[in-house]
Structure 1
Amino acid sequence: MTYPVTERAFGLAIIALSGMQLMAVLDGTVVNLALAPLQAELGLSDAGRNWVVSSYVLAFGGLMLLGGRLGDAFGRKRMFLVGVALFTVASAACGLAQNEAMLVLARVIQGAGAAVASPTAFALVATTFAPGPVRNQAIAIYAAMTGVGSFSGLIIGGALTEVSWRWIFLINVPIGLAILALGWRALTETAGERAPLDVPGAILATLGSTGVVFGIVEGPERGWTDVVTLTAIVVGLVLLLAFLTVERRARNPLLPFELFHDRDRVATFVAIFFSGGALFAMTVIVAVFVQDVLDYSPLRAGISFIPFGGGMALAAVASSWLAPRVAPRWIIATGAVLTVGYLIFASTITVESTYWKNLFLPIGGIGFGVGLAVIALPLCAIANVDQKNIGPLTAISLVAQNLGGPLGLAVVSAMAASKTLSLGGRTGSAVDMTRPEIVALGEGYTFALLGCAVLAAVAAVSALFIRYSAADVAQAKAAQDAVHR
């Protein structure tokens, strides 16, 4: 096979591919710091506010496996450019949104664009850069964008929101146009593989997850016995069951069941799902708490998350040292237990709390605990498998993490709303709330942090059922590196 790039990785091709990855990851977090002003300006309910973040992640996670298959079937360069174009147009629509429906719909399209562009971008790395040092450099640059996007999204989101929340979306438009131009010029098309596409499976998985999330999110406001709430949850569960049935019969399923015969791997995916839910929900809850209750500006709120990134960086160093020496279940369980402890600590904050006394330590501690867990889990997902299954299992672990986020947020947000309403407070924008209503709102948010602690505790228990050894994880890492080379 002839590779377009054989001498050095840095160039137009890797700028286009890693730039899209940066935007996709960034948009999963950048909106968190804009939620409070966005909610106030558009008059969103708490349910509507949650949909602004959940709609993107549901579409991204639910359609990611199909997105990768589209690149295989119709050409990766072509589908990468289609995904980037969708993402860019949807970003403009988000920035110009005038109401909740327009914003949420645009976020869904954004997520769908990212679900096509992101997996095809990673596949293009393998077909663009020659094996060896060049490809290793390209993968390192591409992977770095995931870390940079996750951490910097909160800071960038806070800074742009100081001007207007609309700029967190509009800034994507010139970047997206640049990526399209670079990708058109620098990338080489791949031959399509006309394998059958599991479109019904992708649609059923996405709609089923959306139905369950909708019912849980709307429950506190509509009532848990409301017809719409119950119907959404029941229909969502039925669609998810239909998805499992379709996957068993599909010629080219998105979710190959033979990969789940290993009980250790099932426990790994359960841990990934619940740790993803705890992380995603905690980030949103803390972001709105410091703005709505402690009256932080968006930029100050973003800066307050810096210890979280520091904690994750320390965890990466610790996990790298521990992985060859300690069974992964103990590393993951320890990280999850630390997360539980610091979340319980964080749940004691009140309207009178200060950053250095009450927030600095738990934010950094949660970052360290989450880092220990999420660094080891993806390697457990690909332990003891053939190289041909590493790609699908890695994708499935990303989907589990992405779908766990909205479902976790839906549950803990329902807890927050129910607690606030039971104390005589009200949900929605905090701009015109009285002091007692702010206190009740804060009590709801801290109660939601206890919900996050429960999600992390389930991840900790699940980790204890992962029986892979340190040697298995080391072998998985070597196999992963071999695939990338």
Structure 2
Amino acid sequence: MATLVLSGLQLMVVLDGTVANLALAPLQSELELSDAGRNWVLTSYALAFGGLMLLGGRLGDSYGRKKMFIAGVGLFTIASLLCGLANNEAMLIGARALQGVGAAVASPTALALVATTFAAGPARNRAIAVFAAMTGVGSIAGLILGGALTQVSWRWIFLINVPIGALIVGLAVIALRETAAERLALDVPGAILATLGCTGLVFALTEGPELGWGSPAVVGALVAGVVLLGVFLLVERRAENPLLPFVLFRNKDRVAVFVSIFFAGAVMFSLAAFVALFVQDVLGYTPLQAGLAFVPFAFGLGAAAAASSKLVARIEPRWLIVTGTVIMTASLLYGSTMDGSVRYLPTLFVLVLVVGFGVGLAVVPLPLCAIAGVGSHEIGPLSAIAQVAQTLGGPVGLGIIGAMATSKTLSLGGTSGAVADMTEAQLAAQGAGYMFALVGCAVCAVIAGISALFIRFTPEQVAQAQEAEKSVQTT
């Protein structure tokens, strides 16, 4: 039962991240969101999730993991209900941010509970395997289930979490056992400063095209974001138990790894959003058709991930990452030339499959490089930082790429908002903006690839990292 509880949470979080992309077009139309408001539906969740994830894990250590897991799932469930009942932009975005806070507490605590709930050996290995499998299952199931639910109403992608979350909370009370609390100094100021700083930057980038780059709100948010992130770095240098220990960044190779992870996260997050909007708003796909259209991406990613996990112990990881980013860049630049006349077979099908393969080839070696050449006691913190870098790369990247897309649309005589009220010329401009976003994704892929060239870890070090990761999980 404990496996069901913990893997159920992972499935719910992954599903939520997948289905939200498919719902962007219909919810923008129903709630009359601007393009910036539409993007905030994704970024508000990701900023809260990524910015507070490290603190969420520390809360479990300090106050008991079972207690914090239940609190996190409960908050996520309540926030999902508010998302489903939202009747305006502010309520939806606020509820999505609250969802991110709940996920930031529950998700890292769930993974830690796998290690403390099951005895080392086959039982724990099975639990870890099921927990990890939920990411893949959730990705594909989210495309199909999310599309089907969105076709009924976008509200159901959030409301479906309510009974599932309530069931997980009820079973968690029965099945999980509490862990001993270890009272550590919590770096709450660091978590808040990092989250607010990133939010300020994303706000400036997202709202700039519509409010004007010289707008006091945009300039103020940009300045505030930079200042808050600067203060965050000062706080981290003096914190008793910092969320971001600078000692972990002394290795230049590892810094290059985190840069690559950040920009790879930007590619995946932004690509999914804009392709989903393109196929629905421009090509006229239903949400279910859009979800099914993305399935080849998951298969391409899975095939490349399986190959990459074996090759990484034989080939220098940087060349696998660079190869993956080259495939991504070429595919994205080709995709940016598409318009409303493109057909799914063979063009879109092959493109989605190839991009997925490139992503899989690049992203598998990166987390292993993050923990290469370190002791077992550093694997946990470095893995967590890698996850945060990927999660925060998404909203920051979407802020920049979204600004590029909106600016392109407006420059062609298009308008911001739902496509239902657009003329044919405005819709063409909107499609051109969506496809121009792929150029931004390609630029991020190039940066990830260039950064990967500075990663000097050997296949032997990465193979040792694979074994060390397995050892930490099973002991």
Superposition TM-score tier, normalisation by shorter sequence = over 0.9
- The answer for the alignment partner of 1:207 in structure 2 is 196
Question: What RMSD over aligned residues (CA atoms) do the two structures have, in Å?
Answer: 0.8
> Are 2:50 and 1:77 equivalent residues in the alignment?
no
CA offset at residue 150 of structure 1? 2.7
> Are 2:39 and 1:50 equivalent residues in the alignment?
yes
Q: Distance in 2 between matches of 1:74 and 1:210?
A: 28
Q: Distance in 2 between matches of 1:150 and 1:273?
A: 20
CA offset at residue 368 of structure 1? 0.3
Equivalences for 1:130-145 in 2 at 5 Å? 130-145=119-134
Cα contact 1:32–1:157 (8 A) shared by 2: no
Equivalences for 1:248-259 in 2 at 5 Å? 248-259=237-248
- The answer for the alignment partner of 1:266 in structure 2 is 255
> Are 2:181 and 1:192 equivalent residues in the alignment?
yes
Q: Alpha-carbon deviations, 1:1-39, whole Å to 9, x = none?
A: xxxxxxxxxxx1011111111111221121110100000
- The answer for the alignment partner of 2:429 in structure 1 is 440
Q: Alpha-carbon deviations, 1:430-460, whole Å to 9, x = none?
A: 0121111111111111111101000000000
Cα contact 1:273–1:404 (8 A) shared by 2: yes
CA offset at residue 154 of structure 1? 2.3
Q: Distance in 2 between matches of 1:102 and 1:368?
A: 37
- The answer for the alignment partner of 2:383 in structure 1 is 394
Structure 2 residue corresponding to 1:403, chosen from 392, 397, 414: 392
Amino acid at match of 2:139: S
CA offset at residue 281 of structure 1? 0.3
- The answer for the alignment partner of 1:4 in structure 2 is none
CA offset at residue 357 of structure 1? 3.4
Q: Which moved more, 1:346-355 or 1:74-83?
A: 346-355
Structure 1 residue corresponding to 2:108, chosen from 114, 119, 131: 119
Query: TM-score with structure 2 length normalisation?
Result: 0.99
Q: SS where residue 195 of structure 1 aligns?
A: coil
CA offset at residue 152 of structure 1? 2.5
Structure 2 residue corresponding to 1:100, chosen from 66, 69, 89: 89
Unaligned runs of 5+ in 1: 1-11
- The answer for the alignment partner of 1:482 in structure 2 is 471
Unaligned runs of 5+ in 2: none
Amino acid at match of 1:451: G
Amino acid at match of 1:112: V
Q: Alpha-carbon deviations, 1:109-131, whole Å to 9, x = none?
A: 10000000001111111110000
Q: Distance in 2 between matches of 1:384 and 1:152?
A: 36
CA offset at residue 197 of structure 1? 0.2
Q: Alpha-carbon deviations, 1:368-397, whole Å to 9, x = none?
A: 000011111000000011101111111100
Structure 2 residue corresponding to 1:364, chosen from 353, 377, 381: 353
Amino acid at match of 2:76: F
Equivalences for 1:266-345 in 2 at 5 Å? 266-345=255-334
Q: Distance in 2 between matches of 1:255 and 1:347?
A: 37
Q: Alpha-carbon deviations, 1:398-447, whole Å to 9, x = none?
A: 10000000011111111111111111111211012111111111111111
Cα contact 1:333–1:463 (8 A) shared by 2: yes
Query: TM-score with structure 1 length normalisation?
Result: 0.97
Q: Which moved more, 1:243-252 or 1:311-320?
A: 311-320
Amino acid at match of 1:57: A
Amino acid at match of 1:65: L
CA offset at residue 225 of structure 1? 1.1
Q: Which moved more, 1:155-164 or 1:398-407?
A: 155-164
- The answer for the alignment partner of 1:6 in structure 2 is none
Q: SS where residue 114 of structure 2 aligns?
A: helix
Q: Distance in 2 between matches of 1:72 and 1:357?
A: 51
Q: How many residues align?
A: 474
Q: Distance in 1 between matches of 2:352 and 2:107?
A: 29
Q: Alpha-carbon deviations, 1:72-121, whole Å to 9, x = none?
A: 00000000000000000000000000100000110011000000000111
CA offset at residue 320 of structure 1? 2.4
> Are 2:145 and 1:162 equivalent residues in the alignment?
no
Q: SS where residue 217 of structure 1 aligns?
A: helix
Q: What is the percent sequence identity of the aligned residues?
A: 63
Structure 2 residue corresponding to 1:450, chosen from 430, 436, 439: 439
Amino acid at match of 1:442: G
CA offset at residue 358 of structure 1? 2.6
Structure 1 residue corresponding to 2:218, chosen from 229, 232, 247: 229
Q: Distance in 1 between matches of 2:41 and 2:32?
A: 13
